[in-house]
Chains A and B, each alone.
Chain A
Amino acid sequence: MTDSHRVHICVNGTVHEHVVEDRLLLVDFLRDVLNLTGTHVGCEHGVCGACTVIVNGDSARACLMFAVQADGAEVETVEGLGRVDRLHPLQEAFREHHALQCGFCTPGMLMTGLDLLRKRPLASDAEIRDGLSGNLCRCTGYEHIVAALRAARKRIGEDRR
């Protein structure tokens, strides 16, 4: 028998109770158990950033955490951001600035960008680039992603005034 544990994990505001195998990665729990396939699996060793989600308020690689470790945690994924008919301001900025082509890296870019702008709403361009440095994109050349974050930062700043 494989070793397993019962977990309660809150994903985008809904608590899910499941028995999970000890070695199940958080990203595979999200995708294969909850069918939340917005979070992508890229390199599976913490290099590409495609699986980035937010765990208890901090961005984290979902391929470098086990689901059993997230017992009791609050997890935010790209599905919690916005809907097709009502995009999150960050998603809206990505659309406006052509910050995606194939879209594979986009969920990780969005969740990393969200963590960055929540913690540093006035992030400088250098801080935006540094904050995104752990997420690989093979299409855009990054300039449009930086532009989208810059626009989202401005929008957040205007909302505060």
Chain B
Amino acid sequence: MKPPPFKYVQASSLDDAVVALAASGGDAKIIAGGQSLVPMLNFRLLRPAVLVDINRIPDLDFVAESPAGLRIGALTRHRTLETSARVASAFPVLAEAMTHVAHLAIRNRGTIGGSLSHADPAAELPMLALLLDATIIAAGSRGRRSIAAKEFFVGALTTALEPDEIVTEIELPRLPPATGWGFEEYALRRGDFAIAAAAATVTLGQSRCVEARIALIGGGDRPVRAAAAEALLQGRTPGPELIAQAARAARDGVDPDGDLHASAEFRAHLIGVLTARALEAACERAAGAGR
């Protein structure tokens, strides 16, 4: 239960960190908050030769307005997103989701860049990145590039990042006016990883659904958007029957695996129930916002 030996490198700039990653020949790991990495080291599930600490790189911890919406630096802690007034006003669904991420002491340390790069299939932040159509900016030895959230999550603990790339920030495009949101999660205990969760936004125009977005976890090896359910809602006036149809479509669109925490059938059932609740909340808030 102690980590195997490694060489610790403290990066003072992004260039520093990229050079250290490239020099290791794929045998280095970035440490930011360490809340997922250090347990894996302590269990010796990972044995990197080098740990590159990015905590002291300046200007990676910020929540800033941008022309398109909000930019959030990779070193921003979960706790900052949970308590940021900017996040609460632009993306209340994100602030709400953060309260479900583990516990206070974990949220104090865990970073958004770390959560996205780790890509745990049960983590809230990757799901929210997918819901909010985030663009993920990464820096590597071949320069910077932007990756759409829907292309970023490749599988369990697997992303589109190259071994020498680091997430530097994400950008979230502003939500249109008259948009409501809902977030529903089921976990066995407060702060545990989700068995399943659903997040939704609904944008109304003359009481019709202009756009609906639904993101899910617990349905597979990565967060997904419930495309069929979203399409059902498009252009129609949401009511109990339509929401029930969309929830069924969301449930039928996932193919979860069972494990010792929950069977596949229970997970699929939860996806349907949580989707319906998230959509109800989103529609109610959207109607309130449009009045």
Binding site for B on A (CB under 8 A): 2-3, 5, 21-23, 25, 28, 44-46, 49, 52, 58-61, 63-66, 68-69, 112, 115-116, 129-131, 133-135
Partner of A134, one of B1, B99, B105: B105
CB distance A2 to B109 under 8 Å? no
One digit per residue, 1 when the CB lies within 8 angstroms of any chain A CB and 0 when it does not, for chain B 92-122 equals 0000000100111110110000000000000
CB distance A68 to B38 under 8 Å? no
- Residues of chain A with a CB closer than 8 A to B34's CB: 64-66, 69
CB distance B5 to A52 under 8 Å? no
Of all chain B residues, the one with the shortest Cβ separation from A44 is B1
- Residues of chain A with a CB closer than 8 A to B102's CB: 134
One digit per residue, 1 when the CB lies within 8 angstroms of any chain A CB and 0 when it does not, for chain B 18-60 equals 0000000000000100110011011100000001010100000
Assess A23 versus B105: contact at CB under 8 Å? Given A64-B38, A65-B34: no
- Residues of chain A with a CB closer than 8 A to B106's CB: 46, 61, 134
CB distance A58 to B108 under 8 Å? yes
- Residues of chain A with a CB closer than 8 A to B38's CB: 25, 45-46, 63-66
How many whole Å from B188's CB to the nearest CB in chain A? 12
A60 to B79, CA, bound (A): 12
- Residues of chain B with a CB closer than 8 A to A129's CB: 190
Given pairs A63-B42, A115-B105, 9 additional interface contacts (CB within 8 A): A21-B5, A23-B2, A25-B2, A45-B38, A45-B42, A60-B109, A116-B104, A134-B191, A135-B103
How many whole Å from A17's CB to the nearest CB in chain B? 17
CB distance A45 to B43 under 8 Å? yes
Docked complex: B206-221 residues within 8 A CB-CB of A? none
Partner of B5, one of A23, A44, A63, A115: A23
- Residues of chain A with a CB closer than 8 A to B105's CB: 49, 52, 58-61, 112, 115, 134
